[in-house]
Amino acid sequence: MPPSHTYYTLPSRLGAALSHLPAYPGSLLLATALNAMLAPQLPNDVRQYLRGKRLRIHVRDARLTFDLSCNSTGFAACPPEGTTDLTLSAHAHDFLRLVQRQEDPDTLFFNRRLSMEGDTELGLVVKNAMDALELPVLDPHHWSPPQLLARWRARRHAPSGQGGPG
């Protein structure tokens, strides 16, 4: 079945240039973004299951790899050494469509545009967590400066224990 949208890949020269970037700062940025956008939506049982796991996100066309671990406070960047419990691989455009909820993980997986390698049960937990997200995490309106400021103010002024980390 052909995809219902135009399929994009980054130009190979751009991927070659990006492949020279150091891995750790990118992993740190991704962990920070996941902690801001995704972690607040994860149910406690998923957080518990992810604790102590090492994840790798491989962006094929950009030739970038991000290594993360999950701990009690959320996602953390890891040095790109050793083995991982789960590796997710796709092109940049597919990851973007996935986080914008324009594509679901099953469709990408069955069209061989998303691959998961490693712990099968962990892969299912991650896939189900992605399916359960309530909003497009990269909806530009949701992440506009006024929206971010409003959420920050709400957390800062919430009674202790109700506003999350302030």
Does one domain contain both 99 and 147?
no
Does one domain contain both 105 and 147?
no
Q: Is residue 4 part of a domain?
A: no
Does one domain contain both 58 and 130?
yes
pLDDT at 166: 39
Does one domain contain both 35 and 49?
yes
Does one domain contain both 114 and 147?
no
Does one domain contain both 98 and 162?
no
Q: Is residue 37 part of a domain?
A: yes
pLDDT at 160: 56
Does one domain contain both 52 and 103?
yes
Q: Is residue 7 part of a domain?
A: no
Q: Is residue 1 part of a domain?
A: no
C-alpha Rg value of the chain to the nearest Å = 17
pLDDT at 113: 94
CATH of the domain at 71: 3.30.1050.10
Low-confidence spans in the chain with pLDDT less than 70:
1-6, 134-144, 160-166
Domain with 59 in it: 12-134
Does one domain contain both 22 and 87?
yes
pLDDT at 97: 87
Burial class (CB in 10 A: 0-12, 13-18, 19+), 28: middle
What is the model's pTM? 0.77
What is the total count of domains within the chain?
2
Q: How does pLDDT run across 27-69, given as a tens digit for each residue?
A: 999 999 889 888 888 889 999 999 999 999 999 999 999 999 9
Q: Are 65 and 30 in contact (CB under 8 A)?
A: no
Q: Is residue 145 part of a domain?
A: yes
Does one domain contain both 51 and 78?
yes
